[in-house]
């Protein structure tokens, strides 16, 4: 071709046998010499079709252009490095082969994996190859080309040695139950080693996350992963696949579709080889001979080509995938500046040596920009119809070990700070695994799905999602409790215009470190800003966090919640995302839209764009939200607090300080300037209480000096009651009736308060009980009372239930009950139930005051009603004479 020097003119044979290094070097030198003047005479060198073997290392300088025609392939020997710094002109076909290294950076805008033998094809065909032969005969020619790679299953002997020093330790309680385990090593082709076996005789009868069997073993030579089988020698089924040399059996049930340990071990893996001749025909000549004769389905293998392309791209290069499906069998380490897809690009991840959360793409140290790529699986499948991916016995405790082992699409680790644009994941256990040390990961216009769309394994914060869809067969986002950077677990992110839902959970927290969660008082939950984040067709809950979690949430625009049907057909039809019966019975579904642990500095106002949380219509629904502890006062109207459960809260914390709540308080005071005193029946007298599990007396003094505000509210000599629990009491409870036989609900909310002291680590639980018509009593009991638990733990604590608006149904308030610690005495004072906002303490039902009561407007009087129902007005004139006049 004009302007290029043909390497064959300088002695290159191109037959795959002769060493063409010197001839190619001469062509490079001649091209450089012709370009030394002011006017270049050649553009570079040309490679016509042929296999050009390179026996020694060679550099193609940046000053030249290299034109590679179709079927022209450079093949460096093992240990040889070709430094390709030149411009390259080539189509989407293989141009680099051999076993040596192709190094960059190439002087090209984009590097293509096809140059290194990637096929972009998921086609397969039956093929046969003999033992120690390199001729592969296909049933049809399919689409294989010279320079591409084939994968032949069960054709490579296992190279991994059997694990040694297998031993077990019992975590928690021992027992007398025996369990059998077998551990095998997997080599990088999927070969399975001989097993190491062990019988554990002192295990607990029921294995749980806290009473578990911990297996460990020595690393095996050439092991890429390990598989554990058990629990009986007679029926050893797959329990897990791991990369580390330890595994904890937490008691997850063995899946019905779990494979048994192979009968014949060691077992062979897959043989991968490059095609050197015969492309486009039914007889392919491979660069290596198959160790084992097989007749099975043959597939493309694009793993090696993509790895070589990534290495040649360098830290500043860009690897671009043309449209296609790329079968990948091992993790691809991404260190390039950019990875992009041109058209519809799908990476199909089917690892030979799988282990839990093994990634297809791993970004560990680069700030790579990924765009236009989909990562999925050709093997893993997850469905709500057949939930063999989760164990019911561990589901209720929210344990990570309830899930089966599975792969991940993209893992971010180390110091990497990548960004993602129009990236998709699907059909894997976790679409994206957030596992890096520095946070700062950004997603734009991505669709992230899998069993879980995004799993935040190590929360280092500052994650950002904009205009994304995050969903999953089980949940869109999953966060854990692992320790990192002086905190445990959580998820710190901003989500802007994000679609979630279309799954049982939008956000779900798991215990992925059982020992840590058992030993700490709290873990992080959500530290997030949700800006117009919609939770549509939620099957179970928009958010379900652990009870020990601590969250700070800002929501703008509302929750955008819509419920999926709580029942589902079999098979499912349309948008049916309720959990299957095996994981959650229908009567327990959709109890709350949001489950939170401790809620701190948060702002969740009434949704002005997409609406508030609301209760499900499911029979098992309990309310809109459940908050284990309210730690600070916030605007929480978007949680629909009138239909939510707040289990406990800090003293003086109000449930909401929204403008609507403040206006309601002001209105109540304006139209009801004088209200009843204490609605309870003489709360300072022990005889007013029904006592269960102990005795109630008047205490001679406070067990510790009370705080100043205690004395300001209750006076210098308050009446303090002391409850002393009986020995071995099963229940310690006090019940006090309202002053009237019943108190019907009205438009005026009720507020409750008292001071409590105990040295017990247990809490004081206070409830305002209500009853209603028989047909609705169950529902009313769940929604219409105030319930709170406070833990005084050695100090006087005030319990307040502020502005709990009654339900609008026919409810009768009848009683306040206090459940008290069973191991220590409890002291309390100032028990008060009032209409409207919290009122000053009054010991009696009628209005009580410590000083004179004055009507300040001249001429006002007092109206009294006689026992017969007649009303009279009492007034006074300027001479001090009182007159009584009947009112009509």
Write out pLDDT tens, residues 120-168.
999 999 999 999 999 999 999 899 999 999 999 999 999 999 999 999 9
CA dist 425 to 466, 468, 533, 537, Å? 16, 12, 20, 20
pLDDT at 864: 86
Q: How many CB atoms lie within 10 A of CB 139?
A: 13
- pLDDT, residue 783, reads 38
- The structure tokens listed for 66 are 């290299």
Residue-wise pLDDT tens digits, 307-335: 999 999 988 889 999 999 999 999 999 99
What is the tens place of the pLDDT at every residue in 711-737? 878 888 889 999 999 999 999 999 999
DSSP 18-74: EE-HHHHHHHHHHHHHHTSSSS----EEEE-SEEEEESS-EEE-TT-EEEE-TTEEE
Residue 582 DSSP one-character state: T
Number of C-beta neighbours around residue 586 at 10 A: 15
5 has pLDDT over 50: yes
Specify the DSSP class assigned to residue 623: -
What pLDDT score does 880 carry? 86
In which order are the strands placed within the sheet that holds 81-84? 58-60, 81-84, 101-103
Task: Give me the phi and psi of 2, to 5 degrees please.
Answer: -60, 135
Residue 767 pLDDT level (bands cut at 50, 70, 90): confident
Note every long-range contact of 689-693, with CB atoms under 8 Å and residues 24 or more positions apart, other chains counting: 689/734, 689/735, 689/736, 690/734, 690/735, 690/736, 691/723, 691/733, 691/734, 692/731, 692/732, 692/733, 692/734, 692/735, 693/725, 693/726, 693/729, 693/730, 693/731, 693/732, 693/733, 693/822
What is d(CA 752, CA 768) in angstroms, rounded to the nearest whole number? 8
DSSP E strand boundaries for 219-282: 225-231, 236-242, 246-249, 269-277
* pLDDT for 35 beyond 80: no
Report d(CA 665, CA 653) in Å as an integer: 16
Instruction: Supply the pLDDT for residue 803.
Output: 47
Q: How far apart are CA 93 and CA 642, in angstroms?
A: 66
pLDDT recorded at residue 808: 47
Chain position carrying tokens 């519809």: 344
3-class state of residue 393 by DSSP: helix
Sheet strands side by side (includes 50-54)? 15-19, 50-54, 72-76
Superfamily of the domain at 674-835: Galactose-binding domain-like (2.60.120.260)
Lowest-pLDDT range, 245-254, 409-418, 797-806?
A: 797-806
Spatial contact of 383 and 354, defined as CB atoms under 8 Å apart? no
Highest mean pLDDT among 17-31, 35-49, 607-621: 17-31
Q: 678 in helix, strand or coil?
A: coil
Residue that the structure tokens 């935040």 belong to: 456
Tens of pLDDT, residues 257-280? 889 999 999 999 999 999 999 999
- Average pLDDT of span 792-802: 77
Question: In sequence order, what are the residues at sequence separation of 6 or more whose Cβ sits closer than 8 angstroms to the Cβ of residue 708?
Answer: none
pLDDT at position 524 is 96
- Average pLDDT of every residue of the chain: 89
Q: What are phi and psi of 740, to 5 degrees?
A: -90, 160
Structure token pair of residue 104: 């960059």
% of the chain beyond a pLDDT of 90: 65
Tell me the per-residue pLDDT of 433-480, one tens digit each, with 9 for 90 and over.
999 999 899 999 999 999 999 999 999 989 999 999 999 999 999 999
Give the pLDDT of residue 811. 65
Res. 810 pLDDT band, cuts 50 70 90 = low
Q: For residue range 359-413, what is the model confidence (pLDDT) as tens digits?
A: 999 999 889 999 999 999 978 889 998 888 999 989 999 999 999 999 999 999 9
Classify the C-alpha dihedral 238-240-241-243 as positive or negative. negative
Residue 170 scores a pLDDT above 90: yes
Percent share of the chain, pLDDT over 70:
91
Question: Which residue carries 């984009």 as its tokens?
Answer: 110
**787 close to 765: Cβ distance less than 8 angstroms:** yes
Residue 779, H or E segment: helix 777-783
pLDDT score of 235 = 82
Q: Once rounded to an integer, what is the mean pLDDT over residues 789-815?
A: 68
| Closest C-alpha to 108, from 76, 73, 149, 60 | 60
Q: H or E element: which one contains 553?
A: strand 549-556
Among 464, 445, 441, 459, smallest CA distance to 367 is for: 441
Residues 6 or more apart in contact with residue 885 via CB below 8 angstroms: 872, 873, 875
**What would the 3-class secondary structure string for 710-730 be?**
HHHHHCCCCCCEEEEECCCCC
10 Å CB burial of residue 574 (0-12, 13-18, 19+) is: exposed
**What are the tens digits of pLDDT across the range 636-661?**
888 887 788 887 777 656 666 666 66
pLDDT, tens digit, for every residue of 53-75? Answer: 999 999 999 988 999 999 999 99
Q: Pick from 413, 418, 803, 425: which is nearest to 642 by CA?
A: 803
Question: What pLDDT score does 2 carry?
Answer: 61
> In DSSP terms, which residues pair with 4 in a beta bridge?
44
DSSP string, 843-877: SSSS---SS-----STT--EEEE-TTS-EEEEEE-
| Cα angle, residue 239 at apex, residues 261 and 360 outer, rounded to 5° | 100
Whole-number pLDDT of residue 688: 94
Query: pLDDT: is 224 or 665 the higher one?
Result: 224
Q: What tokens appear for 163 in the block? A: 């694990």
Do the Cβ atoms of 638 and 658 come closer than 8 Å? no
Q: Beta strand pairing status for 487-488 and 294-300?
A: unpaired
Tokens describing residue 131: 């033992």
**DSSP summary character for residue 611:** B
Task: Report the C-alpha gap between 456 and 454 in whole angstroms.
Answer: 6
Choose from 167-171, 738-742, 759-763 the range with maximum mean pLDDT.
167-171
Over range 11-18, report the average pLDDT.
93
Residue 578 DSSP label: P
The continuous run of DSSP H or E covering 666 comes out as helix 659-671
Q: What number is the average pLDDT over the span 742-770?
A: 79
pLDDT at 776 over 50: no
Q: What pLDDT is recorded for position 779?
A: 40
Please report the pLDDT score of residue 266 as a whole number: 96
The residue to which tokens 């589902």 are assigned: 568
Asked if 375 and 347 count as a contact pair (C-beta separation under 8 A), the reply is: yes
Instruction: Please report the pLDDT score of residue 651 as a whole number.
Output: 63
pLDDT at 3: 79
pLDDT digits (tens, 9 = 90+) for 545-561: 999 999 999 999 899 99
Segment of 281-290, 610-619, 797-806 carrying the highest mean pLDDT: 281-290
CATH class of 354-603: mainly beta
CA distance 467 to 462: 17
> Is pLDDT of 105 > 70?
yes
Rounded Cα–Cα distance for residues 809 and 773 (Å): 9
* Residue-wise pLDDT tens digits, 569-588: 988 888 999 999 999 988 89
Residues 36-56 pLDDT 10s:
665 556 678 999 999 999 999
Structural element, H or E, at residue 324: strand 318-328
Q: How far apart are CA 340 and CA 42, in angstroms?
A: 33
């Amino acid at each position: 071709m004009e302007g290029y020097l043909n390497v064959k003119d300088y002695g290159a044979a191109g037959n795959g046998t002769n060493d063409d290094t010197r001839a190619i070097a001469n062509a490079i030198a001649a091209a450089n010499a012709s370009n030394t003047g002011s006017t270049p005479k050649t553009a570079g060198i040309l490679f016509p079709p042929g296999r050009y073997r390179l026996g020694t290392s060679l550099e193609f300088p940046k000053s030249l252009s290299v034109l590679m025609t179709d079927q022209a392939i450079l093949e460096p020997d093992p240990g040889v490095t070709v430094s390709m710094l030149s411009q390259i002109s080539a189509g989407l076909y293989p141009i680099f082969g051999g076993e040596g290294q192709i190094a960059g950076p190439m002087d090209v805008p984009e590097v293509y994996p096809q140059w290194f033998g990637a096929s972009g094809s998921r086609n397969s065909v039956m093929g046969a190859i003999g033992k120690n032969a390199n001729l592969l005969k296909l049933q049809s020619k399919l689409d294989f080309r010279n320079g591409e790679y084939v994968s032949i299953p069960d054709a490579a002997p296992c190279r991994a040695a059997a694990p040694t020093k297998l031993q077990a330790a019992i975590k928690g309680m021992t027992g007398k139950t025996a369990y059998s385990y077998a551990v095998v090593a997997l080599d990088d082709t999927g070969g399975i080693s001989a097993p190491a076996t062990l019988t554990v005789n002192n295990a607990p009868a029921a294995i749980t996350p806290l009473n578990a069997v911990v297996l460990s073993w020595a690393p095996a030579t050439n092991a890429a992963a390990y598989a554990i089988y058990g629990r009986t020698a007679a029926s050893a089924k797959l329990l897990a696949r791991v990369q580390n040399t330890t595994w904890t059996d937490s008691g997850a049930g063995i899946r019905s579709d779990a494979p048994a340990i192979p009968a014949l071990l060691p077992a062979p893996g897959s043989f991968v080889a490059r095609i050197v001749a015969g492309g486009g025909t039914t007889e392919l000549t491979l660069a290596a001979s198959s160790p084992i004769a097989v007749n099975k389905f043959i597939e493309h293998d694009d793993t090696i080509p993509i790895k070589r392309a990534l290495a040649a791209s360098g830290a500043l290069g860009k690897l671009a995938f043309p449209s296609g499906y790329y079968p990948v069998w091992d993790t691809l380490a991404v260190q390039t500046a950019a990875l992009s897809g041109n058209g519809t690009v799908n990476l199909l991840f089917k690892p030979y040596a799988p282990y839990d959360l093994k990634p297809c793409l791993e970004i560990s140290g680069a700030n790579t920009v990924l765009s236009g790529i989909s990562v999925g699986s050709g093997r893993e499948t997850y469905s709500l119809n057949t939930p063999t991916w989760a164990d019911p016995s561990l589901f209720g405790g929210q344990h990570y070990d309830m899930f089966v082992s599975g792969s991940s699409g993209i893992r971010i680790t180390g110091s990497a700070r990548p960004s993602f644009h129009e990236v998709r994941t699907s059909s894997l256990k976790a679409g994206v695994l957030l596992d890096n040390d520095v946070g700062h990961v950004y997603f734009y216009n991505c669709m992230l799905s899998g069993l879980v769309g995004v799993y935040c394994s190590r929360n280092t914060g500052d994650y950002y999602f904009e205009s994304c869809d995050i969903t999953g067969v089980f949940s869109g986002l999953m966060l854990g409790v692992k320790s990192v950077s002086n905190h445990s677990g959580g998820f710190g992110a901003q989500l802007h215009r994000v679609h979630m839902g279309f799954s049982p959970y939008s956000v779900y927290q798991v215990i992925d470190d059982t020992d840590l969660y058992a030993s700490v008082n709290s873990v992080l939950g959500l530290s997030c800003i949700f800006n117009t984040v919609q939770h549509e067709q939620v099957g179970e809950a928009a958010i379900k966090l652990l009870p020990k979690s601590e969250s700070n949430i800002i929501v703008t625009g509302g929750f955008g919640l819509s419920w999926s049907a709580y029942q589902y057909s079999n098979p499912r039809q349309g948008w049916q995302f309720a959990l299957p019966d095996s994981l959650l019975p229908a009567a327990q579904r959709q109890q709350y839209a949001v489950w939170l642990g401790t809620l701190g500095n948060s702002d969740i106002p009434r949704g002005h764009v997409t609406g508030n949380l609301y209760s499900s219509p499911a029979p098992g629904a309990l309310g809109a939200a459940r908050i284990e502890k309210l730690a600070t006062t916030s605007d929480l109207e978007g949680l629909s607090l009138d239909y939510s459960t707040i289990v406990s809260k800090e003293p003086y914390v109000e449930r909401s300080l929204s403008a609507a709540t403040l206006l309601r308080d002001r209105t109540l005071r304006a139209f009801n300037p004088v209200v009843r005193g204490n609605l309870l029946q003489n709360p300072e007298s022990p005889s007013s209480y029904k006592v269960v599990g102990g005795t109630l007396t008047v205490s001679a003094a406070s067990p510790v000096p009370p705080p100043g505000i205690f004395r300001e509210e209750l006076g210098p000599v308050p009446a303090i009651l002391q409850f002393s629990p009986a020995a071995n009491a099963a229940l310690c409870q006090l019940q006090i009736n309202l002053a009237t036989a019943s108190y019907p609900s009205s438009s005026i909310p009720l507020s409750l308060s008292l001071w409590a002291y105990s040295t017990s680590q247990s809490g004081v639980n206070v409830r305002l009980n209500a009853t209603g018509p028989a047909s609705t009593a169950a529902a009313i009991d769940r929604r219409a009372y105030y319930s709170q638990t406070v833990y005084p733990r050695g100090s006087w604590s005030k319990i307040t239930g502020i502005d709990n608006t009654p339900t609008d149904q026919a409810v009768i308030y009848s009683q306040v009950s206090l459940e008290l610690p069973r191991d220590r005495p409890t002291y309390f004072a100032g028990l008060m139930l009032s209409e409207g906002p919290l009122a000053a303490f009054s010991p009696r039902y009628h209005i009580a005051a410590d000083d004179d009561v004055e009507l300040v407007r001249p001429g006002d009087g007092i109206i009294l009603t006689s026992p017969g129902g007649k009303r009279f007005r009492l007034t006074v004139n300027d001479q001090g004479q009182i007159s009584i006049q009947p009112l009509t």
